[in-house]
Amino acid sequence: MTSPRTQWYRPMTARDPHEEHRTASPLELLFDLTFVVAISSAAAELHHAISEAHIAAGVFGYLVVFFAIWWAWMNFTWFASAYDCDDALYRVLTVLQMAGVLVLAVGVPAAFERFDIGTVVLGYTIMRVAMITLWLRAAHGDPARAPVTRTYAAGLTVIQLLWIGLVFVPVPWGVIGFVVLVALEVSLSPFAESREVDAEKGTPWHPEHIAERYGLLTLIVLGEVILGITGAFGPALSERGFSISLLLLGVGGLLVVVGLWWIYFLAGDDEGLRSARVAFLWGYGHYVVFGGIAAVGAGLEVAVDAEEHVSHVSATTAAFSVAIPMALVLIVLTALRRLTWAPGSLAVGYVAFAVVGVLVCAAVAGVVGIGVSVVLMGLVLTAMLSGYLLLLRRRAAVSTSGA
């Protein structure tokens, strides 16, 4: 039985990156749930912007707020993979970050609509106080990696002060400042890790744990898609009653969600996450994967609006609001898996078929109807998966006969 002292305090030493059976903790799962509101709010704002035909402004606002959401999750996830000691202080600091996420979520609409980032920066400041404390604690508990952990603490402090200053900068210059600070944010990890020449003394994240954590957030984002389309169908059905077109949108939306889920979880990525360079590219690339999946949900809500004639965009535009993020997810996920999967295991031709297929389905929405268009997108993903699974089966059969 764990002693009371150990429950309240454990030295924050590095976790073993080769630890067997490492899984996400209940605290990490609770932490992920705080992002539900923020992701839902960002997708809802994108949905409304596209429906009102403010597409360019909506996409820009979505990219801004989703970066803030995703980066907050990234900061904690990779740290926890390396230094989760699960004592009382660690839990308190994690809960403090969760409070910051909720404040961030409150600020999403203002940041989206008029680039008023004050509330989002306040949420980040709360989270950064906790993260800086954790990095300093890691520097104390793991002296061998102190150059790396102190660099993270110092870098986060300086960048957060710059974010606070950006709140007072007028919008045209504020947008430029935002881009500069995003570049600083994504550069901090490679710079901090380069402070240690010995790769063994870099941040000891756990590949299997990281892959699982990303998979869990993917499920949460897919859940947001399901929640979004359910919320859109409810009022539509209650006002007009049963509709074949809405039924088709529901079937198509379900096919799309299941298809994206199946494609993401075809195989694990952890075996390829053994080098820092690959891990950085893979981790950062998921900004498009997560953001794209959430945007699919927003697009499906736009499709419902277009079908109900309460949107200011055409059926074709609404269909493309579903198809374009789907295509981006497929392209970027395939590119990332070129880094993590074994050579020859990818079937790029199948992905190309799916990307072209969903875009063609969107292009014909004005002719066949948006419900049929979305169903066809789901069938394209189904065909891609079926072909790829048959290919894997043939490869396995050839390998077995050859052996």
Query: pLDDT, tens digit, for every residue of 274-333?
Result: 888 899 999 999 999 999 999 999 999 999 999 888 899 999 999 999 999 999 999 999
Q: What is the mean pLDDT of residues 251-279?
A: 90
Q: What is the mean pLDDT of residues 162-182?
A: 95
What pLDDT is attached to residue 151?
Answer: 96
Tell which wins on pLDDT, 326 or 201. Answer: 326
pLDDT bucket at 201, cuts 50 / 70 / 90: low
- DSSP codes of every residue in 45-80: HHHHHHHTT-HHHHHHHHHHHHHHHHHHHHHHHHHH
- For the chain, the residue count is 403
What pLDDT is attached to residue 242?
Answer: 66
Is residue 195, in this structure, part of any structural domain at all? yes
Q: Give CA–CA dist 68/108, Å, rounded.
A: 9
pLDDT bucket at 403, cuts 50 / 70 / 90: low
Based on the fold, state whether residues 246 and 367 are members of the same structural domain.
yes
Residue 186 has pLDDT above 90, yes or no: yes
What pLDDT is attached to residue 367?
Answer: 95
- Out of 201, 222, 252, a domain closes at 201
Is residue 300, in this structure, part of any structural domain at all? yes
* pTM, to two decimals: 0.94
Residue 5 has pLDDT above 80, yes or no: no
What pLDDT is attached to residue 390?
Answer: 87
Based on the fold, state whether residues 368 and 281 are members of the same structural domain.
yes
Helix (H, G, I), strand (E, B) or coil at 168: coil
Share of the chain above pLDDT 70, in %: 94
Query: By CB neighbour count within 10 A (0-12 exposed, 13-18 middle, 19+ buried), where does 65 fall?
Result: buried
Residue 1 has pLDDT above 50, yes or no: no
DSSP state of 169: S
Based on the fold, state whether residues 226 and 193 are members of the same structural domain.
no
Lowest mean pLDDT among 160-169, 301-310, 321-330, 386-395: 386-395
Long-range contacts of 337-342 (CB under 8 A, 24+ apart): 337/269, 339/272, 339/278, 339/281, 339/282, 340/269, 340/270, 340/271, 340/272, 340/273, 340/278, 340/282, 341/267, 341/269, 341/272, 342/271
- Out of 201, 233, 263, a domain closes at 201
Q: What is the mean pLDDT of residues 242-260?
A: 88
Query: By CB neighbour count within 10 A (0-12 exposed, 13-18 middle, 19+ buried), where does 92 fall?
Result: exposed
Based on the fold, state whether residues 45 and 155 are members of the same structural domain.
yes
Based on the fold, state whether residues 75 and 43 are members of the same structural domain.
yes
Based on the fold, state whether residues 195 and 230 are members of the same structural domain.
no
Based on the fold, state whether residues 97 and 135 are members of the same structural domain.
yes
What pLDDT is attached to residue 202?
Answer: 78
pLDDT bucket at 200, cuts 50 / 70 / 90: low
Based on the fold, state whether residues 171 and 146 are members of the same structural domain.
yes
Q: Give CA–CA dist 348/350, Å, rounded.
A: 5
Based on the fold, state whether residues 253 and 377 are members of the same structural domain.
yes
* Average pLDDT along the chain: 91
What pLDDT is attached to residue 12?
Answer: 93
Q: Give CA–CA dist 272/215, Å, rounded.
A: 15
Residue 132 has pLDDT above 60, yes or no: yes
The domain in which residue 300 lies consists of 207-397
Q: For residue range 107-131, list pLDDT tens digits in order.
A: 999 999 889 999 999 999 999 999 9
Based on the fold, state whether residues 194 and 211 are members of the same structural domain.
no
Is residue 10, in this structure, part of any structural domain at all? no
Number of domain units in the chain: 2
Based on the fold, state whether residues 191 and 232 are members of the same structural domain.
no
Q: For residue range 213-229, list pLDDT tens digits in order.
A: 999 999 999 998 898 77
pLDDT bucket at 197, cuts 50 / 70 / 90: low
